[in-house]
């Protein structure tokens, strides 16, 4: 397999993964964002999604700059559905550019 094909497959997989996350965020009932799943270290569903995005951003920043970024924690962010959708859109584009 050549490098171009591999990069295209990784990008396609990334886009599908991000689309699934955006769909999930759109389908979770509003009350579901405040739910605290068992075994979640006390994070609400919204905070877990925020944390997932924070990790994505952290790895992206590390791979681009070699430095660990200082990013806000979920508890301080008060993530909402619209905020989460907007947050996931930015790193998705940045990962596509990076890859």
Tens digit of pLDDT for each residue in 16-44? 988 999 999 999 999 999 999 888 788 89
Give the pLDDT of residue 74: 67
- Rg over alpha carbons for the chain, rounded to the nearest Å, is 15
Distance of CA 12 to the CA centre of its chain: 16
Tens digit of pLDDT for each residue in 37-74? 888 788 899 999 998 888 888 888 898 899 888 877 76
How far apart are alpha carbons 29 and 73 in whole angstroms? 23
Closest CA to 32 of 19, 48, 46: 46
How far apart are alpha carbons 13 and 20 in whole angstroms? 11
Contact between 98 and 60 under an 8 Å Cβ cutoff? The reply is: yes
- Global pTM value: 0.81
Give the pLDDT of residue 76: 65
Give the pLDDT of residue 91: 74
3-state secondary structure of 36: coil
């Amino acid at each position: 397999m050549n490098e171009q094909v591999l990069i295209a497959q990784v990008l396609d997989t990334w886009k599908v993964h991000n689309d699934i996350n955006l769909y999930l965020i759109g389908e979770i009932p509003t009350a579901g964002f405040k739910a605290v799943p068992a075994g979640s270290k006390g994070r609400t569903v919204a905070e877990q999604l925020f944390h997932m995005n924070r990790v994505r951003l952290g790895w992206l920043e590390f791979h681009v700059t070699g430095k660990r970024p200082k990013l806000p924690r979920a508890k301080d962010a008060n993530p909402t559905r619209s905020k989460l959708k907007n947050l996931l859109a930015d790193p998705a584009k940045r990962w596509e550019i990076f890859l």
